[in-house]
């Protein structure tokens, strides 16, 4: 009997004590607001740029490829469903000057263009506070191919175009991120293929990532170009760029295996020049691979 009382005594004490440690812990809980990380796994989705930038003093090497039409007139078994053809090939480097500012250079097979890009993270989504991330993106492209006709590029400036975009992104859950990318392309009249087409074009992009496994995501983006500032009755059939893909992340590498109707990789080329459609076999396979290098000294963490 004594033992039972003693037990009751001990239990009543220890129960109260344990509770007090926990209730004191609750009062100590300083909630720190952390920036949401990895809204997207990569600075690029399928066709569009994401709000992500390079980490400070990290260099990314990019290799991108777009094959030929899978079906239709130019595809099928004659070209092994487009694998014989390379409509675009991109090699580039992006470097993070700070966590917020990235600069990059690249070269595309399409139009033999050299491009330079700047990305700046204006707002960061936070776990408690800021609901959105906003990144500004600018890219200039210089077409270096021989003119198709003697008067195609009268001046050197006729070869240069600029693309500006505001990327508004939100990570809704660990597996679901969405972005909206309004953009504006500024191009000289010499680069306009259809006489009726406007020089400068508004675009409105939408992109999303859905994680299916820890390191594998489904990615997709769609950009509205037709029906904004572009006239309706053009001689050339232009289509809105649309791509879907699988993104695989393996530490320092990110692989994206994509299907899209755009032949070109950089926005300056695919925003105005997407002449293939998903419905007539104009969709093509492509990939984008990045390898990250940490160039800076290791950060001091203490």
- Contact positions toward other proteins, by CB under 8 A? 1-2, 5-6, 8-9, 12-14, 16-18, 20-22, 24-25, 28-30, 32, 34, 37-38, 55-56, 58, 99, 127, 173-174, 214-215, 249-253, 292, 294, 298-302
- Residue closer to other proteins, measured from CB, 29 or 149: 29
HEC string for 11-78:
HHHHHHHHHHHHHHHHHHCCCCCCECCCCCCCCECCCCECCCCCCCCEEEEEEEEEEEECCCCCCHHH
- Could you tell me the smallest distance in angstroms from the CB atom of residue 241 to other proteins? 28
- Residue closer to other proteins, measured from CB, 34 or 61: 34
Q: Do you know the residue count of the chain?
A: 302
- Residue closer to other proteins, measured from CB, 104 or 272: 104
Contact 169, 276 (CB under 8 A): no
- Could you tell me the smallest distance in angstroms from the CB atom of residue 72 to other proteins? 38
- Could you tell me the smallest distance in angstroms from the CB atom of residue 253 to other proteins? 8
- Residue closer to other proteins, measured from CB, 20 or 154: 20
Q: Residue 180 burial by CB count (10 A; 0-12/13-18/19+): exposed, middle or buried?
A: middle
Distance of CA 11 to the CA centre of its chain: 58
- Could you tell me the smallest distance in angstroms from the CB atom of residue 60 to other proteins? 10
Q: What does the CA dihedral 124, 128, 130, 131 come to, rounded to 10 degrees?
A: 100
- Residue closer to other proteins, measured from CB, 31 or 146: 31
- Could you tell me the smallest distance in angstroms from the CB atom of residue 24 to other proteins? 4
């Amino acid at each position: 009997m004594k033992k039972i009382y003693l037990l009751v005594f001990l239990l009543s004490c220890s129960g109260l004590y344990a509770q007090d440690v926990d209730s004191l812990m609750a009062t100590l809980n300083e909630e720190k607001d952390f920036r949401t990380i990895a809204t997207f796994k990569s600075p690029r989705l399928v066709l569009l740029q994401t709000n992500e930038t390079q980490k400070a003093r990290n260099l990314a090497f990019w290799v991108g490829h777009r094959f030929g039409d899978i079906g239709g007139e130019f595809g099928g078994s004659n070209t092994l469903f487009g694998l014989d053809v390379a409509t675009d090939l991109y090699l580039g480097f992006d470097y993070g000057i700070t966590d917020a500012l990235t600069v990059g250079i690249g070269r595309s097979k399409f139009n033999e263009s050299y491009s330079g890009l700047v990305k700046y993270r204006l707002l960061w989504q936070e776990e408690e506070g800021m609901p959105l991330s906003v990144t500004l993106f600018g890219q200039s492209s210089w077409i270096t191919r021989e003119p198709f006709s003697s008067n195609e590029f009268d001046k050197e400036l006729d070869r240069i175009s600029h693309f500006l975009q505001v990327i508004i992104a939100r990570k809704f859950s660990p597996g679901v991120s969405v972005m909206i990318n309004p953009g504006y392309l500024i191009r000289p009249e010499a680069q306009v293929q259809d006489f009726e087409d406007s020089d400068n074009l508004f675009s409105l992009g939408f992109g999303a990532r859905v994680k299916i496994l820890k390191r594998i995501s489904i990615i997709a983006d769609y950009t509205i170009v037709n029906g904004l500032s572009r006239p309706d009755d053009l001689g050339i059939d232009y289509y809105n760029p649309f791509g879907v893909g699988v993104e695989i992340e393996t530490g320092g590498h990110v692989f994206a295996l994509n299907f899209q109707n755009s032949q070109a990789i950089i926005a300056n080329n695919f925003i105005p020049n997407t002449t293939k459609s998903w419905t007539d076999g104009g969709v093509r396979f492509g990939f984008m691979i990045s390898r990250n290098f940490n160039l800076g000294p290791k950060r001091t963490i203490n």
